[in-house]
Structure formats: structure tokens, C-alpha cells
Amino acid sequence: MLEFTQFEKSYGSRRIFSIASCRLGQGVYWLQGPNGAGKTTLLRIVAGIISFRGDILLDGHSLRRDPVAYRRSVSWADAEPRYPPFLTGSDLLSFYLSVRKAGSSQAEDLVSALSMKTYISTRIGSWSDGMIKKLSLALAFLGAPSLIVLDEPLVTLDATSVQLLYEMIHLRRQKNCSFLFTSHQDIETSSLPIDKKILIRDQTIETLAI
């Protein structure tokens, strides 16, 4: 599914990652590491947001050579999502639907499942952090990506929404969608079957069995 080749990332003279080769198969991956290890950086790189050296392939699509096809296969939700306050949730949903070429019924289902109907058409500037977080998750689940990257998906979510998120992940797993996420909160593997943990260590990543 996801392959890193000659992958490097540095900030100035400080090298964060140096991975000669690594391949991750389908599944749910929990990315772990101490603060500052580069978890968010790695997720943003995989999501195609920030630059790096080398290449990443997702389902055979190279982020360097075929960036549009690559980005079509991946979607991302930030740890602390921020959107322009003058936009409404509906604006962003319809924008994502058009870019990801998804059906509007999918958006309606997500909005309904995450109980966002009452406020989705209002200005994001008046929303709480939890409401914005739910919107970012709904946007990440739109379309048919083969990998969904979630940075701290449980932060600011209430208990009901956390259970809903687990259910959504279950449903997507049945459709062969993979997940790569970080979380500082404990996750019970009975609620969310995690295939492997990924540990960031010595500028590289190691996969560990659960």
C-alpha cells in the first residue's frame, strides 16, 4: 500500500527522517513517538502537504511523479483543524465533494452520523473546537481514499463521537481502506482493531505487532 524509498526530511541541519526503504501493507496503523519525534511531520508528508526528499508511493502512485493520482488515494485530518471563520461547513463539504468527485449522499450520511445537521450551514467562526474537529473528520472520510491519515483524531471529541469514529473506521476497513493515525490517548483494541503500531526511532520507523 504505502512505500517509502530513499525518504529524507530535514528542518535546516536537523534531520528528522532518513528511511532507505519501507513498505506498509493494508491495515490500521497507530503511529507513536515522543513529542517532537516527527509524527505530525510524517503524517503531513504522507498527506502530500509538505516537501521531502526521495519518494512515497501509495497503491503504486508516486507522490513525486503522479501527485494528483496519489492525493486522490489519500485524505487527511489535522490534529487542530483551522478553517476560515467566514466559511460554512456546507461550503467546505461541497468543495470537497466536487474535488474528490464524491456523491452528495455520502456527505449527508456523514453529517447525519456525526450529528452536525443543525449547524453545518452556519459560519465556522461560531463553532466550538469539537464541532470543527468533527467537520475535519467528515471531510477526511469523503470520497473513496485508500488511506486516511488522522492526526490525533480523538482530541476534543466527546465519548459518543469517539464511538462513532470507531464505527466509521470499521466500515471503511471492510472496504479495504487503510488508516494511519497518531494518538496520545489510549485506545482499547477491542473498540478499534489496530493491526500494527509504528514507532519513530533514530530517524526511521519500525512496525510493531500489537
The residues that touch other proteins, with contacts defined as CB under 8 A, are: 11, 41, 47-51, 67-72, 74-76, 78, 81-88, 90-91, 94-96, 98-100, 121, 123, 125-126, 136, 139
Q: What minimum distance in Å lies between the beta carbon of 116 and other proteins?
A: 16
- Residue 18 has which C-alpha cell? 532518513
Task: Please identify, using beta-carbon distances, which residue of 49 and 210 lies nearer to other proteins.
Answer: 49
Task: Please identify, using beta-carbon distances, which residue of 125 and 130 lies nearer to other proteins.
Answer: 125
Q: What minimum distance in Å lies between the beta carbon of 209 and other proteins?
A: 30
Q: Which of 166, 167, 153 is nearest to 81 (CA)?
A: 153
Task: Please identify, using beta-carbon distances, which residue of 48 and 194 lies nearer to other proteins.
Answer: 48
Task: Please identify, using beta-carbon distances, which residue of 58 and 114 lies nearer to other proteins.
Answer: 58
Q: What minimum distance in Å lies between the beta carbon of 165 and other proteins?
A: 18
Task: Please identify, using beta-carbon distances, which residue of 43 and 192 lies nearer to other proteins.
Answer: 43
Match 528528522 to its residue by C-alpha cell. Answer: 16
- Residue 178 has which C-alpha cell? 487503510
Asked whether the CA dihedral 85, 90, 93, 99 is positive or negative, the reply is: negative
Alpha-carbon distance 138 to 161, whole Å? Answer: 12
Asked whether the CA dihedral 150, 152, 156, 159 is positive or negative, the reply is: positive
Q: What minimum distance in Å lies between the beta carbon of 188 and other proteins?
A: 29
- Residue 109 has which C-alpha cell? 450520511
Q: What minimum distance in Å lies between the beta carbon of 183 and other proteins?
A: 20
Residue 26 is inside which H or E element, if any?
Answer: none
Residue 109 is inside which H or E element, if any?
Answer: helix 104-113
